[in-house]
Amino acid sequence: MNLPSGLMYLHPKLFLLLVILFSSAFQCPKKTDKVNQAKIKFDYAAIDDSGLRNGEVAVDYEFCIPADQKILDQVMKIDQGIRVMKSSRGRIGCTAQQWLCINSTHSPDWEKKLYAIASLSYVERIEETFYE
């Protein structure tokens, strides 16, 4: 191939750049994604796009956050439907320095919201809520 000398040096660099670009686009899920998903301690595989388990019933889930208004504001940006119980410990066992949060899968983008909550560093685990 008869390329101008400047393009000969650009060509290998361009090729390398394209290889890096394409390989990064098809990477496996990040390790942090798996760690965050591991925080979710209930089976959500049977929950459909409408947020219903087996097409029948929504699933409520609970988690604890530090008792701090700024943190609560951050959590509420994920989903305004999150209910906060500042004096309840829940089955999950929030401490006196934490607030109990309960949310439902019966909302648009429930899975995206669940993953966003799990990605928060101060959320240690997310459990299904069982009412008595």
Q: Classify 11 as helix, strand or coil.
A: helix
Domain ranges of the chain: 31-128
pLDDT confidence band for 26 (50 / 70 / 90): very low
Convert the pLDDT of each residue in 67-123 to its tens digit.
Answer: 999 999 999 999 999 999 999 999 999 999 999 999 999 998 999 999 999 999 999
The CATH classification number of 31-128 equals 3.30.70
**CA proximity to 39, closest of 131, 129, 118:** 118
| Pick from 64, 28, 27, 40: nearest CA to 115 | 40
Q: Which residues pair with 64 in a beta bridge?
A: 100
